[in-house]
Amino acid sequence: MSDGETKTCIYPGCERPAVPPHSLGGPQPSFCDSEEHNALSAHLERQRLAREGSAGAPASERGPATINEEGIPAVANEAYRAVFLRSTRPARWC
């Protein structure tokens, strides 16, 4: 491809062209003009596809840790919970 001006929407499965860069400059957006295609929705869609295709996908692509619904590794979640519980529990034993 010699045309470096045209980007394609990076939303999974979307092949529409990305919106053109702003006339005043700045980087070209990576998504088409669909309101549903943005960094967050693309991220969620990729996670959904990863879950659906997890049977065939190599584990290395998803990382060694198990990922829960929120996309937080279980290990991190437990560490978070430990810190959270400790910091919010009032010191009552005085």
Contact residues: Zn ion, CB under 5 A: 9, 11, 14, 16, 32, 34, 37
11 close to 41: Cβ distance less than 8 angstroms: yes
Q: Which tokens in the block code for residue 93?
A: 């034993």
Cβ 35 to Zn ion, closest distance in Å? 10
Of the two residues 8 and 68, which places its CB atom closer to Zn ion in the complex? 8
Cβ 4 to Zn ion, closest distance in Å? 19
Residues 6+ apart with CB under 8 A from 11: 31, 32, 34, 37, 41, 42, 45
DSSP alpha helix (H) spans, the chain: 39-52, 59-62, 74-88
Of the two residues 17 and 81, which places its CB atom closer to Zn ion in the complex? 17
Of the two residues 34 and 66, which places its CB atom closer to Zn ion in the complex? 34
Cβ 2 to Zn ion, closest distance in Å? 23
